[in-house]
Chain A
């Protein structure tokens, strides 16, 4: 059977592949120190689970409106008003099966063959794949460690062509943890308005921000900016709800209408019970978000301390999310643990897994050769043991 060319061209997610490799090794009885995960290691807070169980008991197991229940849309709008001073109306919300699905909706509604989408690198693997699925071309713009992996207004400007359809920003960023300084964002917003380029701002890690960094939603730089902004976010990371599959877009009403039409014909509503759980997450006490953030902050401190003491490693401090992203290229060609030599980050990760049983994700998967990603969504004792092993591995 002949399959679709676009789908065949997609490379399977490298993060998943890394996790699968680690699992294989585990299945042979080896204890693996795993730092590949892109999700909080906490369970969903109890009051949210409780609301879900109540919704089940109340019989909310049937189709809902395709783009989400009114209560959830309202809860989303209220939260953005409270947290960011942004005034969105429910007619600007589409609730989907996770933020990834939301990104798919945006790209499908906006992009087609011949269009270009600007993506700053290092970037989350799925971005370019999702763009390619629409027939559009991802245009990668490399950001540097010095800038904290933030795209500058000049870089953005220079990448714009008559075919540019969209800029995809991810703030805070997976894989770098980079959190955009307000001035940088504001400068980008100015370019977006001047050149009339819509911006998809993936803000799914917005609640995970650490000392020294602040978060500003892209839509907060005035009406002209908001008119060109599509916020993508969801409950996955802030409320430890990855398995519930709830994400959303906040966008201008006409684009929202297009995405609503799309979703009603492609998937219909996201899980009804998850929607009620998300209402509880957004409307309930936000203490759980802060508690989890503090735990991540402790781990981050620990991780940064360990990274600083590793030989010949460089990195930019992550201002948000739960990833450390560091350059290991100076170790290429040297004798590492078990006497192995490696030539790139992918080989580095394979050797590290095989020799030291530590699983990281190669930067090659994020458009960042020479780098590796370590997720600190795991407890301190595992981090400690993992770093001990990583350190020994680097010393050869």
Chain B
């Protein structure tokens, strides 16, 4: 097949950043792995059981595009109770990333701009590009707060979407109600779609979770079961927002993914009755543990939620520092995978305590050695 068959858009997306890291990691024999982007606990048993039961009961054919009724109804109740917006509807998507793809394709015309906060979740950039849009990055270093004045200054005639993510990957930053309110009101004032990726909402350690949708009823919320219920492999997400936007997204799902895997939707229904607060408490404890171990050598900003810390490299670029970490059997991700700048690295504490201890030890040593040894 000749190379010139490939459509132009494919040359504008690049999946190599994180792959390069994993290629490097392939040579590691017994890595201390603090790079994992998913919970380390098993999928809770009631969820597994519900899925097995659905399979046994033959719930294996296409479901309706927007999801099975009982799950839709439960989610709708939940959303109504939280927001009470007249026009806030729900549908079930094939994964959270699937929902992000649907929302960006639904909102973005070629040439439109999408405002994201740097550091950002990698898919945002690529999904925007695939929809023909352009990401406009708002720098949030060093503390990763949402500075609404900067957002205002970045708005142009072509701004179509503001994409926010709290708690955030990769920084673990949990935005304050004030920041979110200001952002939500700005979006409303400028008639810009606000998309809120709330996949980590269960993981807030120092303040309560607040959705920007609280302040802007037109906010489109992207959520899912992957992280909260350790169901990353199963591919179940959901969306809530204004009906006219959702209708378009559902139509697009009909033409692409058709529906979320049917038995998984029954697993999702069981997940809604599954208490994960113990796991959240455990991650808070792990956060405190790791922060405590690193505090002497690193300044740790944000890290109030999700299960990530985004930490400034004590020397060198993020990439140089990560290379040295990998030479020392520690697997972490360089900041430039998530950012236009290369100064930080991402740690995930979704790992056993022992791994956190070993990782922290290596990080202490690396900070104190002041530069690469090789």
User: CB within 8 Å of A: which of B5-21?
Assistant: 5-10, 13-15
Q: Are B261 and A101 in contact (CB under 8 A)?
A: no
A-B contact pairs, 18 of them (CB 8 A): A1-B193, A10-B251, A49-B60, A52-B55, A53-B56, A63-B38, A97-B95, A98-B257, A133-B255, A242-B61, A243-B63, A243-B262, A244-B60, A244-B261, A245-B258, A245-B261, A262-B10, A273-B233
Question: CB within 8 Å of B: which of A240-259?
Answer: 240-245, 251-252, 254-255, 258
- What's the Cα separation between A10 and B248 when bound, in Å? 9
User: Of the candidates A129, A240, A265, which one forms a contact with B15 in the assembled complex, judged by CB atoms under 8 Å apart?
Assistant: A265
Contact B231 A61, beta carbon cutoff 8 Å:
yes
Does A134 touch B at the CB level, under 8 Å? yes
6 new A-B contacts, CB < 8 A, other than A5-B109, A98-B258, A196-B2, are: A109-B10, A130-B255, A264-B15, A266-B101, A269-B233, A271-B235
Q: Please tell me if the beta carbons of A97 and B98 are within 8 angstroms of each other in the complex.
A: yes
Q: How far is the CB of B51 from chain A (nearest CB, A)?
A: 6
Q: Which residues of B contact A59 (CB under 8 A)?
A: 42-43
| 8 cross-chain pairs, A with B, having the tightest CB-CB distances, nearest first | A243-B262, A272-B233, A252-B1, A265-B126, A43-B58, A61-B43, A271-B261, A44-B60
Beta-carbon contact of A271 and B106 below 8 Å? no
What is the total number of residues of chain B having a CB less than 8 Å from a CB of chain A? 73
A255 to B2 Cα, complex, angstroms: 9
B60 and A245 contact, CB distance less than 8 A: no
Would A1 and B191 count as touching, CB distance under 8 A? yes
Give the chain A neighbours of B94 by CB distance below 8 A: 97, 245, 267
C-alpha gap A14/B43 in the complex (Å): 38
User: Are the C-beta atoms of A258 and B10 separated by less than 8 Å?
Assistant: yes
Contacts of B10 in A (CB 8 A): 108-109, 258, 261-262
Instruction: For A134, give the chain B residue with the smallest CB separation.
Output: B7
Q: Is A104 an interface residue (CB 8 A)?
A: yes
Indicate if the CB atoms of A244 and B262 lie closer than 8 Å. Answer: yes
A221 to chain B, nearest CB (A): 16
Q: For A267, what are the chain B residues with a Cβ–Cβ distance below 8 Å?
A: 94-95, 97-98, 101, 235, 257
Chain B residues with CB below 8 A from A104, complex form: 255-256
A44 partner residues in chain B, CB cutoff 8 A: 55, 58, 60
Q: Which residues of chain A have C-beta atoms less than 8 A from B136's C-beta?
A: none
Give chain A's interface residues, CB within 8 Å of chain B: 1-8, 10, 12-13, 16, 39, 43-44, 49, 52-53, 56-57, 59-64, 97-98, 100-101, 104, 108-112, 115, 126, 129-130, 133-135, 165, 196, 198, 227-228, 240-245, 251-252, 254-255, 258, 260-262, 264-274
* Complex Cα spacing A6 to B107, Å: 10
Docked pose: A5 CA to B95 CA in angstroms: 24
**Separation in Å of the A140 CB from the closest CB of chain B?**
17
Chain B residues contacting A39 (CB-CB under 8 Å) are 61-62
Contact residue among B56, B131, B230, B252 (Cβ-Cβ distance under 8 Å from A61): B230
Alpha-carbon separation in the docked complex, A184 to B61 (Å): 34
Given A61-B233, A264-B15, verify A243-B6 contact (CB < 8 Å).
no
Is the CB of B221 closer than 8 A to any CB of chain A? no
A243 x B261 contact (CB < 8 A): yes
Q: A60-B233, A109-B6 are in contact. Are A262 and B13 (CB under 8 A)?
A: yes
CA distance A225 to B126 in the complex (A): 32
How far, in whole Å, are A241 and B106 apart by their CA atoms in the complex? 29
Q: How far is the CA of A270 from the CA of B264 in the complex (A)?
A: 12
Using Cβ atoms and an 8 Å threshold, which residues of chain A touch B97? 266-268
Which residues between 90 and 127 of chain B lie within 8 Å of chain A, taking CB atoms? Answer: 94-95, 97-98, 101, 105-110, 122-123, 126-127
